Structure 1
């Protein structure tokens, strides 16, 4: 196709102009048979149908087939990813039937079957099903986009559904014309266009509706002066003071002297000193040591069991 070029003269008027250079990557529009005037669009991080606009980059899709030679569906159809030009997000499988498809950041060199799709054979007039690569029974479905449910409208969501031979389940991927490639691109700095400037919220975080108070909006608050807000202080420095840490007896802290328990140290009802049940607190204690060094006894220290020099007055060794 590209190996031979034939030039024909036209009565001395020179050669025919060369064909335009091919686009680096083909941009596709995706629409269903239920209403071809609506295209697959990314809006608010969801996949919907919207009126066709070739200059809207959120309706421009790349059909990435880099994994098509090694990933195929049960019918042998090659897999592809659908990547949105405006956002860089790929369409991902939904949770199941009737659930909307999802969008995730696309990592081209990572093989992720959850963003891979296939096309069925022709189901009429060049339309095909778009279905999960690993479950060809779940297809793109313009939710309630058939005539019996009101048809396609601006904002129709795309879900997955079993094949029901509906026009809202029959899809086409067609290349956009030159008007799509000539659309103004977002400035460098990332695949996402910069967000529109947001006005400062008015009156306590609410933006008044158009028309002002006369149209049912919020009236502005009365003029000041207003008392200044209370100064915020660091915890522990005049503001909220955190309570001192409470150590359980035998876990990094020393128990208080008998008869004068500090708050938080008193044993619960039914328990004796050191959180032992009373039936055990009245039993004699024993010392535990090993043959390797009987000068060391089993001890609790900082929440762990270890050996320490024998000390008959250390209750952590009892």
Structure 2
């Protein structure tokens, strides 16, 4: 893995007039150090960009680099808010993939660390996300391939078969060619029990991990007078992985597990987790203790998959399966 690359950004601003000349010697105490850890799960060479957008400049500085990569970026605190973006180049069939940090101000003399495009990739329900009903239309955003650090991702995050199926009162009602984030369903006004199942696959093209992700959601719904959230949850797995989304073979490791959405903060027993080391063919339920599970990693070259179910206080169930969540080395 390439490491130790340093990039320096200088910023100067003058209100009310154009510069007629400028001499400024930037000192270290004017800068914040941002360590950006960009991941890549594919074994074949991949390239991308690191971009730093400045609110003061109204633009960005960027560098082309091979992946995975650790870069040290020194930015002036006087540059306003900065928004780092980790971009995998579009010079491949799957196209650009961007995982971005929200804009923030960095303090001079302080150090920061960002990790992006590293597993476990899986569904995430952040602010404004989830399932919604607006009148007789059901839609949603569940970010099937959010990275391990919680960046939702933009671009061609998957490359393969994908579909979303809506069941109404136990019968298949409609199917869309696309994940729920790209789909809408027009439904009858009357109250009914629903299950929505969305799946995306990207094995061996867009990534070597989280090769297939499926999420299903059960809820009861009728026509609404306005845009109304529907019950939905996400189960997040956040083990400490290398930048190629691998973990040491044969070791027992702690995998933190958190629940977002309607089942967040549920009582014991509202969350169940199973682990597979054969690509999801067989799963073994493991206890969730103190917000984590223990996983014994398979031999080198293997993978670990997760299946989880979260039930909220009203009995609405979210079920997730992440095939090949991470690899072993």
The bucket for the TM-score relative to the shorter chain is: under 0.3
Tell me which structure has the larger Cα radius of gyration.
1
- Higher RCO (Cα < 8 Å, 6 or more apart): 2
| Greater percentage in helix | 1
TM-score normalised according to structure 2 size: 0.20
